[in-house]
Amino acid sequence: MTSEIPVPAAAESDESASEITKRPPGARPTGLPGDLTALLAGYAAELAGTTLSAETCRTYISRVRQYLAWLAATHRRRPGDQDPLAAPKARDFAVRDYRRWLLHEGPIKRSVVYANSALTAIDDFGLRRGLGASKIDRDDLPRQAPRALEEKARIRWLRAVEQVTSPRDRCIALIPYYAGARISEVVRLDVGDVRRSARKGVLRIYGKGDKVREVPIHAKLRPGLEQWLTERAAWPGANTSPALFLNTKGGRLSARAAGGIIAAIAEQAALDDDPTAHVLRHTFATSLVRGKTDLVVVAELMGHSRLDTTRQYSLPTERDKADALNHLTTDH
């Protein structure tokens, strides 16, 4: 297979390699030269026709965009060089260099989890172009529990949420914490997915692969949901959109906007480690696992298809390792 799309020199790129990972949340996407923009648009169109979730598609497109921008900014091809977007050997060299750049050489040192995620997206891109996946092994993930808020941080987070005047925003901030939902799952909720009886209630959550799970509505979440449902009736689109969370124009709130709401509350909380929706989801799972909840129950509540994914929450945290040293005898 050959490619007619050259990898431009760094001078021809819209931005330098050092700028690729410095884009703040909410800023415009990383710019690409025209040929690579068309290539990415074609890939996005292919993803739109798949069964992948909208959140997965957005992540893949973002990761591939960053990779193409890095290629454009760093790969200056000389006569006789193979095209990393067309030749398997050149592809493997480029992807290997990119992984090293993400982990060690870029302006922001990325985690192994992020680098592996980027390689997964790049492989999907290669497969859909007919080039195939890169022949590069994934790095082993660190053997420790996912990042979750510690006890004091949880209290500060909940108090910051309590100060929010918008019942919609309070619900968006609390559902990942009290129901373990991903941000994409939060914005996908419809009004009919909030099922309440006189004393109990459940959230019907659509997860990856359209897998449905039901999570009991926590007692601290229920009043906020009821307040929002009452206020929602007066919002634009309340009678036409089934979405639980509406934007100001009456449409379904986007995952990006919901993430921005959580980020704004996190800034008000002034935590050392700002919580994202995913950190709040991890906090939900960590609390249950460390509270001795059966792993099968936690897996069901989290929407995990493999129990091994749930077991990672029982792994030691950095605090666990530090606390372990307190058992050593010292001579005062």
The number of domains in the chain is: 2
Beta partners for 215? Answer: 203
What's the pLDDT at 28? 56
pLDDT band at 116 (very low <50, low <70, confident <90, very high): confident
Nearest to 178 by CA among 158, 200, 197, 208: 158
**Mean of pLDDT values over 36-41:** 90
Instruction: Look at residue 11 in the predicted model and tell me its pLDDT.
Output: 27
Q: Determine which one of 58, 110, 278, 311 is catalytic.
A: 278
Q: Is 53 helix (H, G, I), strand (E, B) or coil?
A: coil
Over the stretch 155-182, which tens digit does the pLDDT of each residue have?
999 999 999 999 999 999 999 999 999 9
Q: Is 129 marked active-site?
A: no
Contact 144, 315 (CB under 8 A): yes
High-pLDDT (> 90) share of the chain, % = 50
Cβ neighbour number for residue 132 with a 10 Å cutoff: 12
| First and final C-alpha spacing in the chain | 71
Q: Sorting pLDDT into bands at 50, 70 and 90, what band is 18? A: very low
Q: Catalytic pick from 168, 232, 281, 282?
A: 281
pTM: 0.66
Domain membership of residue 5 (yes or no) is: no
Which CATH number fits the domain that encloses residue 304?
1.10.443.10
- Taking the CA of residue 295 as centre, how many other CA atoms within 13 Å lie in the half-sphere pointing to its CB? 11
Among this protein's residues, is 304 annotated catalytic? Answer: yes
How many CA atoms lie within 13 Å of 181's alpha carbon, on the beta-carbon side? Answer: 33
pLDDT tens readout for residues 268-284: 888 776 788 999 999 99
311 belongs to a structural domain: yes
- Structure letter (DSSP) for residue 79: T
Average pLDDT, the chain: 84
Q: What pLDDT does 180 receive?
A: 95
Helices 167-179 + 151-162 axis angle, to 10: 160
Do 297 and 184 share a structural domain?
yes
Residues 177 and 291 in one domain: yes
Residues whose CB falls within 8 Å of the CB of residue 106, separated by 6 or more in sequence, listed in order: 17, 18, 20, 21
Residue 283 lies in a domain: yes
Is the Cβ–Cβ distance between 125 and 64 less than 8 Å? yes
32 and 124 belong to one structural domain: yes
Question: Are both 72 and 175 inside the same structural domain?
Answer: no
**Catalytic site includes residue 75:** no
Are 155 and 123 in the same domain?
A: no
Instruction: Identify whether residues 104 and 193 lie together within a single domain.
Output: no
- Catalytic residue of the set 182, 188, 213, 252: 182
* The token pair that represents 160 in the structure block: 């910051």
Q: Within its chain, how far is the Cα of 82 from the centroid?
A: 34
**Torsion-angle region of residue 189: left (phi > 0), alpha (psi -120 to 50) or beta?**
beta
pLDDT value at 45 more than 50: yes
Domain presence at residue 332: no
Active-site residue identified among 110, 129, 196, 208: 208
- Are 303 and 184 in contact by the 8 Å Cβ rule? The answer is no
- Domain of 216 in residue numbering reads as 151-321
